[in-house]
Amino acid sequence: MSTEEIYLARQPILDRRHRLVAYELLFRSGKEAAAGAIQDNLAATAHVIQHAFADLGLEAALGPHRGFLNCDEAMLVSDMVEILPREKIVLEILETVEPTPTIVERCRDLAAQGFTLALDDFTEVEKKWQPLLPSIAIVKVDLQPLTPEALAHVSRELMRWPVQLLAEKVDHREQAERCLSLGYSFFQGYYFARPTLLAGKKLAASQLVLMRLLTLVLEDADTAQIEAVFKEEPGLAMNLLRLVNSVALGLTIKVTSLRHALAVLGRRQLQRWLQILLYAGASQEGVTSPLLSMAALRGRFMELIAAEIGRDQEFADHAFMTGVLSLMPAVMNVPLPELLKGLRLPDDIVVALLDAEGDLGQLLLLTEALENGNALLCHDLVAKIPGLDAKTVNRCEAEALAWVGNIGQEV
């Protein structure tokens, strides 16, 4: 596998309260996917992992979360895995690995060293797996081929061992609720990343105000216009004054008017504060939606890419808004046309959101391809964007992950 064009993809893993606790890390070769000849090997895998952790700073980018890393037999028995940060990485043993005595002994040794081991795509407690299960911490149960009865059976069987259960390929609410009732600890699947829109639901007033303010900041509107919107939301205005008067800003004077507060804070700081409020506002009971995290990640990633390819600050700001707004319909359960009616967005953002066209549309398509692990499409899109390559894409991805993690801590 080529080590020059490998794209990092990640899929969120949630706990029982829908909090993000880990990512499954996927590495895909775009160049060889384009050639139709993906052939994995241990040397290439080692290079990718070293590149991800040493060069991209992925360990820091994961923040408090862990990363699930796929392991085939060759990787599992190699010395390479022992250099990985065991407190951050879960070794996910692929279903193609046969539990031979050698593999059972190797897993027992890795568990004793402090590694967390998981079994992937589990569907049946066959006798051959039983010697391996005492060393396993997490079993990922594949819901796709299982009937409700079969799921209940395999879940009960697995509970004979001290393992935590992870439901993967959760596509529907009913599946998630069933697995919750069966005692599952973790969840992974499109249900959590692509919730169904509720037709006719309206935007909350506070969310719409934040959107309007962000749009005005991006348009570099007059301070009077921004001030007028704040005056419509007394609670938001009060928070602004508190922010500007906080000790963190190191001011020696007292700010008492909205206009003065906006001048002191500045447009870039105001934009960041609004982004954080938007991020926090769609959370419920203190738990930030994983979809909202994905929206923030999209925005920051697109903003970083815009800067890397030499575009100006206005384009980078538009790239951020395009990424965030692309998932807001799902976050807020509002159809995109209805969402856009409440905002006066620049034409390039609207065209990107509705038709995936223009330069912003290309960046949005690249972002979605990266999320889905579609290396072939990543390869094609990167080739169309001057000044961009796979190394830059992955570095921006890692930086965006770290940024989202920092915002989560601020919230």
Per-residue pLDDT at 42: 62
Give per-residue pLDDT as tens, 30-42.
765 444 444 455 6
Least confident of 127-136, 173-182, 244-253: 244-253
The single-letter code of the amino acid at 339 is L
- DSSP for 308-351? HTT--HHHHHHHHHHHHHTTHHHHHT--HHHHHHT----HHHHH
Among candidate residues 95, 130, 138, 89, the one with its CA nearest the CA of residue 113: 89
Per domain, the residue ranges of the chain are 6-193, 205-410
Percent of residues, the chain, with pLDDT higher than 90: 36
**Residue 283 pLDDT grade (very low, low, confident, very high; cuts 50, 70, 90):** very low
Is the pTM higher than 0.75? The answer reads: no
Altogether, the residues listed in the chain come to a count of 411
Please tell me the distance from the alpha carbon of residue 238 to that of residue 279, in angstroms, as a whole number. Answer: 19
- Identify whether the C-beta of residue 197 lies closer than 8 Å to the C-beta of residue 329: yes
- Identify whether the C-beta of residue 407 lies closer than 8 Å to the C-beta of residue 299: no
**Residue 1 pLDDT grade (very low, low, confident, very high; cuts 50, 70, 90):** very low
Domains 6-193 and 205-410 share a fold: no
Per-residue pLDDT at 184: 97
Higher pLDDT, residue 85 or 111: 111
Please tell me the distance from the alpha carbon of residue 188 to that of residue 198, in angstroms, as a whole number. Answer: 22
Please tell me the distance from the alpha carbon of residue 112 to that of residue 100, in angstroms, as a whole number. Answer: 18
Residue 4 has pLDDT above 60, yes or no: no
Give per-residue pLDDT as tens, 313-365.
889 988 988 998 888 777 667 788 877 876 667 899 999 999 999 999 999 99
The overall average pLDDT reported for the chain is 80
Per-residue pLDDT at 201: 41
The single-letter code of the amino acid at 352 is A
Q: Is 182 helix (H, G, I), strand (E, B) or coil?
A: coil
Please tell me the distance from the alpha carbon of residue 150 to that of residue 167, in angstroms, as a whole number. Answer: 14
Percent of residues, the chain, with pLDDT higher than 70: 76
- The CATH superfamily holding the domain 6-193 is EAL domain (3.20.20.450)
CATH number of 205-410: 1.10.3210.10
Per-residue pLDDT at 402: 80
Please tell me the distance from the alpha carbon of residue 61 to that of residue 406, in angstroms, as a whole number. Answer: 9
Per-residue pLDDT at 103: 96
Q: Is 125 helix (H, G, I), strand (E, B) or coil?
A: coil
Please tell me the distance from the alpha carbon of residue 157 to that of residue 250, in angstroms, as a whole number. Answer: 60
